[in-house]
């Protein structure tokens, strides 16, 4: 494909350029605060543990394969 060789006519919005630079360099300015520590704890520990327990407790209780109208999905 042909490439335009002249100066670009697209002018970048300065606010979008600053936002993009902030997004790219976010890891350089990250700081552990009580809020960031709490959110990390919640999303890495307190959410997966109940989901794992619920999945383990309901494992094998329902069988959705090969059921017809009127058949029960519970195995117990």
Number of Cα atoms under 13 Å in the Cβ half of residue 44: 6
The whole-model pTM stands at: 0.55
Q: What is the pLDDT of residues 15-63, one digit of tens each?
A: 999 999 999 999 998 999 999 999 999 999 999 999 999 999 988 887 7
Backbone angles phi, psi at 18, to 5 degrees: -65, -40
Question: In whole angstroms, what is the distance from residue 76 CA to residue 62 CA?
Answer: 8
Q: How many residues does the chain have?
A: 76
Is the pLDDT higher at 68 or at 22? 22
Q: What pLDDT, on a 0 to 100 scale, did the predictor assign at position 59?
A: 86
Burial 21-46 (b: 16+ CB within 10 A, else e): eeeeeeeeeeeeeeeeeeeeeeeeee
Q: What pLDDT, on a 0 to 100 scale, did the predictor assign at position 11?
A: 82
Q: What pLDDT, on a 0 to 100 scale, did the predictor assign at position 66?
A: 76
Whether residue 67 has pLDDT greater than 80: no
């Amino acid at each position: 494909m042909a490439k335009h060789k002249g100066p670009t006519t697209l002018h970048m919005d300065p606010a979008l350029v600053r936002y993009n630079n902030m997004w790219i360099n976010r890891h350089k300015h990250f700081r552990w605060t009580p809020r960031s520590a709490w959110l990390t704890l919640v999303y890495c520990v307190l959410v997966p543990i109940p989901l794992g327990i619920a999945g383990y407790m309901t494992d094998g209780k329902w069988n959705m394969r090969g059921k017809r109208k009127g058949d029960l999905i519970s195995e117990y």
